[in-house]
């Protein structure tokens, strides 16, 4: 009977139910609050978004992504990012663009020698590696370098109500009436409690890619793109009630977006 039901279901074109992705609970004690909603709205804008690569239906050549260089002197950037982080992002995006990405792990301990051969443009040394296993099919060696990571602009503004509040208190005292003095005192208290602060910093981060012919070590193509990364914070306090927010795109998110822009160009121009 069970086999009969299965046969009938197949005959009618019915398929097994598609299981949804897992959904996880939010354990934060502020979940659902206004601050939670505001923070989540900001975080959503910084989340990973897949790129539709124009020629993704067309299979690209076999390639190896080698660690590039981080040429920025900015300590915050260089402490967080190394060449391998960027190469990992690049392998992910090139795979999504339908390039045949060969694993760096296939090189094992020879990765540094492989990278050096292509960085120095030594075709004889490079060909030694191309005789090994999966690497025989390699057409390109690709690297991504960070050339710029610097904060180029910063602005801030704020309001401190204490000075204005004192003036209101003085005007109230000179008004000559009890009501005026009381209003001045109230105004001094309220306005004097108002404090606002807003800070914004803008970074420019630039990334270059190089495509190298795996056999000759000659440069096939190169390109460069840069993006602005804005970080901001603001806060307000009135009568002891305060509110504030801070955030912006992370360095991880910015690097991945730059990789996506460069891979989009490689997919569009060189397939």
The yes-or-no verdict on residue 104 having pLDDT over 70 is yes
pLDDT for the residue numbered 23: 86
What's the average model confidence in pLDDT over 58-65? 96
Please indicate, yes or no, if residue 11 is contained in any of the structural domains: no
Please indicate, yes or no, if residue 7 is contained in any of the structural domains: no
Task: Give residue 193's pLDDT band: very low, low, confident or very high (50, 70, 90).
Answer: low
11-54 confidence digits (pLDDT tens): 555 555 667 888 888 888 888 888 888 888 888 888 999 999 99
Q: At CA 136, angle to CA 131 and CA 141, rounded to 5?
A: 105
What's the average model confidence in pLDDT over 109-123? 90
232-270 confidence digits (pLDDT tens): 777 676 655 666 666 567 888 899 999 999 999 999 999
Q: Taking Cα atoms as reference points, which of 141, 148, 150 lies closest to residue 67?
A: 141
Please indicate, yes or no, if residue 29 is contained in any of the structural domains: no
pLDDT for the residue numbered 92: 96
The yes-or-no verdict on residue 103 having pLDDT over 70 is yes
Any idea what DSSP says for residue 61?
A: P
pLDDT for the residue numbered 15: 54
Domain region containing 188: 50-269
Contacts of 129 (CB under 8 A, 6+ apart): 107, 110, 113, 114, 117, 135
The yes-or-no verdict on residue 106 having pLDDT over 90 is no
Domain count, the chain: 1
Highest-pLDDT range among 18-22, 119-123, 189-193, 195-199: 119-123
Residue 230 sits at φ, ψ, to 5 deg, of -105, 130
Please indicate, yes or no, if residue 28 is contained in any of the structural domains: no
Better pLDDT: 210 or 126: 210
The reported pTM is 0.75
Please indicate, yes or no, if residue 31 is contained in any of the structural domains: no
The yes-or-no verdict on residue 94 having pLDDT over 80 is yes
**Residues 180, 181, 185, 186, CA torsion sign:** negative
Better pLDDT: 105 or 69: 69
Average pLDDT value for the chain: 79
158-179 confidence digits (pLDDT tens): 655 555 445 444 444 445 544 4
211: domain CATH number is 3.40.50.10610
């Amino acid at each position: 009977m069970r086999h009969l039901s299965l046969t009938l279901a197949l005959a009618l074109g019915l398929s097994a139910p598609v299981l949804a992705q897992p959904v996880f609970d939010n354990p934060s004690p502020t979940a659902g609050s206004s601050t939670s909603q505001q923070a989540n709205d900001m975080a959503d804008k910084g989340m990973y978004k897949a790129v539709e690569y124009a020629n993704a239906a067309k299979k690209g050549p076999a390639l190896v992504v080698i660690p590039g260089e981080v040429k920025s002197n900015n300590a915050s950037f260089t402490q967080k990012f190394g060449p391998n982080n960027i190469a990992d992002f690049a392998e992910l995006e090139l795979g999504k663009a339908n390039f045949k990405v060969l694993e760096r792990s296939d090189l094992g301990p020879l990765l540094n020698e492989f990278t050096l051969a292509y960085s120095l443009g030594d075709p004889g040394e490079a060909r030694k590696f191309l005789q090994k296993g999966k690497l025989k099919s390699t057409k390109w060696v690709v690297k991504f370098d960070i050339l710029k990571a610097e904060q180029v602009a910063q602005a801030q503004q704020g309001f401190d109500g204490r000075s204005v509040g004192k003036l209101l208190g003085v005007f109230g005292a000179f008004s000559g009436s009890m009501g005026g003095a009381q209003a001045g005192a109230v105004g001094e208290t309220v306005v004097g409690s108002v404090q606002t602060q807003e800070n914004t910093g803008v970074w420019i981060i630039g990334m270059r890619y190089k495509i190298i012919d795996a056999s000759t070590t000659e440069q096939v193509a190169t390109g460069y793109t840069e993006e602005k990364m804005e970080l901001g914070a603001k806060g307000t306090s009135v009568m002891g009630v305060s509110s504030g927010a801070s955030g912006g795109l992370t360095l991880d998110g910015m690097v991945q977006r730059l990789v996506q822009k460069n891979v989009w160009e490689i997919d569009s121009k060189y397939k």
